[in-house]
Chains A and B, each alone.
Chain A
Amino acid sequence: MRTGAAAGHPGYFHAAVEYDSDDDLLEVTVPFLLDGVANGEPSIVAFGERTAGLVRAALPAGSGVEFLAGGDMYARPSAAIRAYRKLLERHVAAGAGQIRIIGEMPVSAFGNTWDWWARYESAINHAYDDFPLWSMCAYDSRITPGEVLADVARTHPRYAVGGGRHVDSPGYVEPRLYLSENRPPVPDPLQDGPPTVSLTGPTPAEARRAVHAADRGRLPAAHVDDLVVAVSETVTNASRYGRPPVHLRVWAGDDRIVVTVTDAGPGPKNPFAGLLPTTEAATGGRGLWITHQACDHVAAWTGVEGWTIRLVAGNPVIPRD
């Protein structure tokens, strides 16, 4: 039995909250959570420290609202989907008729790595649709770049606007369409220079050795190990499901290693590939999902050479000029 605005809605009820004052945020958040608690629904906040503090202060003592560490939840999109799905499964198994979550991404997600969070916002319309979830994604328009807000409009079916009301998002695009758009990422400055290692048609073992060879020992061993897994999976997929020639390029920087793998094919057909684990055996989907779990940023696009996937281990954030 679902309550509130999502009553009678099948599956995921996904809304954005665009606010420009703390009062605006609280006006939407507090009743959303308290109504949930009053109806016996798990009501969860995944905010950063500042906004979580605001909400905590506005709630009565012992409100029954649960707080998650928002920053931890939003480290990697595929990991966030996995963690949220587990949380939702637990609550449904415990008999929840609806789960309410309000979350907010850290500002660090709004830079050059926003592209994979935009894909997350789109993909979850599908990824959480088998749960009675009502969630709100809060964006502070005072600090959120315009291009991010434009993606918010395209990835959220509706906005929560206060007073318990919602309005449809006119720019909303179905996830399959949104995720199929060609979206080249912001080039990493390392890519302006020649690659540290460049190989054509490498075997997965050669690709792994290329990463080890390029590693300057500046990243923690665990990060390099995980990148090696990602590169191995990616080259395996390119060889099995892509079209030759396969090019591997590795750039080593002070705080990160950037790898691109390009093949001449069109890329995976499944638009959710990487963000969701797939049960389809013959698509390389699980390898792509592992790749998304193992790297600090992943982007894929189609260009003149074919389909390229770029993996970053270490700090993927490019400082703004």
Chain B
Amino acid sequence: MCVRESIRDTSTTRFSTTANFSRFNFSGVNLNFFSYGPRRFNRPDGVPRSRHYARRMAEKTGDRPGQRYGHVCLAYDDPVAFETAARDFLAEGAAAGERIWYIAPEAPRGWDFRPELIRLGDHYPEGSVIDPEQGLEAYAAATRRALADGYSGLRVAAEATPLVRTPAQLDAFARYEHLVDRYMRTHPFSALCAFDRTELGAAVDELACLHPESDAPFRLFAPPPALGDAGLAGDLDEATRGLFARALDRAELRPAAGDLVIDGEELAFIDHNSLLDLDEYARRHGVTAVLRTRLWSPGHLADLLELTALRVEGGR
């Protein structure tokens, strides 16, 4: 009976669907990131998977451990949530000697540090469709300038809702998000991209799922190059099938060499249709995809489905 009660308690906790902006302390280093209770699964030993992953990434890449990915998507319902998240995100950058940009209609109030206030139209082609390559180059140039000016990097919090109001804007911006994500893995640039969920509705997931840190059901992102050509985290099932297909299309994944390696260390679940879609994606692009995961079921499913363009490694 006790066990039942405790399981009930656990389930109640894990069924919470409220996204919290949480502060964690890993190995004595402050880490800010969004915690999405039900969307971040813990390992059987109770240690958050993300904690293992942060350590593994740091081991493999020598990254600054305080910076997990540095690319966060905030889909907010209340503008106050953006201002609060931006403050925490940018405060870390200020402490680390980075140039910090706050891209929003108005200056923030009550902060104990002053970011540079940038108007959306000063940096983005507001009102038109972004060119992904040009958008990337604009931030690459700004990052180079920040370094030339003596900063350790560039950190941006941007309220970007006006840039994705039409389907064409959203599609181009999603493609741009993945390019920027890839750039961030190897350059001292980080960003918090905020979108108003009350205005964009479910479309916000199309952007959020291309950020390594977001409350999208799954995330397709650029991992540190040593870990693979793409990272896949979260839950992929029937509900995300269309979203996954669009994300794959927009990310335009290409192998650095040989097989297309997908790091699924943080994958919580992938259903058979999503595996079939991944297999088909690889075949269409003339590559063999390799999905690396700690889950057992994807390997079992790949065997059952006799996939030929997707190989699953893992189950441990």
Contacts and interface: CB of A to CB of B under 8 A. Distances in A.
Question: Range of interface residues on chain B?
Answer: 20 to 34
B271 A206 contact: no
A205 B51 CA distance: 22
A204 B14 contact: no
Given A204-B238, A233-B272, A287-B272, A213 B11 contact: yes
Contact of B7 (A82, A208, A213): A213
Interface stretch (B129-137, B173-181, B208-216, B293-301): B293-301
A203 B239 contact: yes
B14 A213 contact: yes
B44 A217 contact: yes
A222 B239 contact: no
B4 interface: yes
Interface in A216-249: 216-217, 221-222, 225-226, 228-229, 232-233, 236, 240
B4 A196 contact: yes
B235 interface: yes
Given A221-B296, A286-B272, A209 B301 contact: no
A212 B239 CA distance: 20
A293 interface: yes
Contacts of A300: none
Given A205-B237, A293-B304, A233 B271 contact: yes
Contacts of A225: 295-297, 300, 315
B15 to A, nearest CB: 6
B15 A206 contact: yes
A214 B7 contact: yes
Nearest to A239: B238
Interface in B226-246: 235, 237-239
A205 B7 contact: no
Contact of A294 (B7, B10, B14, B300): B300
A197 interface: yes
Interface in A74-100: 82
B8 interface: yes
A123 interface: no
A180 B53 CA distance: 49
B235 A210 contact: no
Contact of A232 (B44, B271, B295, B315): B271
A216 B3 contact: yes
Interface string B1-20: 00110011011001100000
Contacts of B41: 212
A290 interface: yes
Contacts of A228: 269, 297
A279 to B, nearest CB: 13
B38 interface: yes
A222 B15 contact: no
B224 interface: no
A228 B300 CA distance: 13
Contacts of B4: 194, 196
Contacts of B223: none
Contacts of B14: 209, 212-213
A232 to B, nearest CB: 6
A223 to B, nearest CB: 8
Among A196, A205, A214, A294, find the residue whose CB has the most chain B CB atoms closer than 10 A: A205
B217 interface: yes
Contacts of B238: 204, 236, 240
A316 to B, nearest CB: 18
Interface in A242-301: 252, 286-287, 290, 293-294
Contact of A204 (B38, B237, B272, B297): B237
A34 B88 CA distance: 80
Contacts of B217: 205
A208 B269 contact: yes
A210 B15 CA distance: 9
A23 B296 CA distance: 46
Contacts of B295: 225
Interface string B247-272: 00000000000000000000001011
A290 B237 CA distance: 14
B272 A197 contact: no
Contacts of B297: 222, 225-226, 228-229, 294
Contacts of A217: 44
Among A208, A210, A229, A293, find the residue whose CB has the most chain B CB atoms closer than 10 A: A229
A226 B296 contact: yes
Contact of B304 (A205, A216, A290): A290
Given A232-B237, A233-B272, A290-B301, 10 more contacts: A197-B11, A209-B14, A222-B296, A225-B297, A226-B297, A226-B300, A232-B271, A236-B237, A240-B238, A293-B300
Interface of B: 3-4, 7-8, 10-11, 14-15, 38, 41, 44, 217, 235, 237-239, 269, 271-272, 295-297, 300-301, 304, 315
The list of the 9 closest CB pairs from A to B, nearest first, reads: A213-B11, A222-B296, A225-B296, A225-B297, A229-B297, A236-B238, A204-B237, A213-B10, A205-B235
28 contacts: A82-B304, A196-B7, A203-B239, A204-B271, A205-B235, A205-B239, A206-B15, A208-B269, A209-B15, A209-B38, A210-B11, A212-B41, A213-B10, A213-B11, A213-B14, A217-B44, A222-B296, A225-B295, A225-B300, A225-B315, A226-B296, A232-B237, A232-B271, A236-B238, A240-B238, A290-B272, A294-B297, A294-B300
Interface of A: 82, 194, 196-197, 203-206, 208-210, 212-214, 216-217, 221-222, 225-226, 228-229, 232-233, 236, 240, 252, 286-287, 290, 293-294
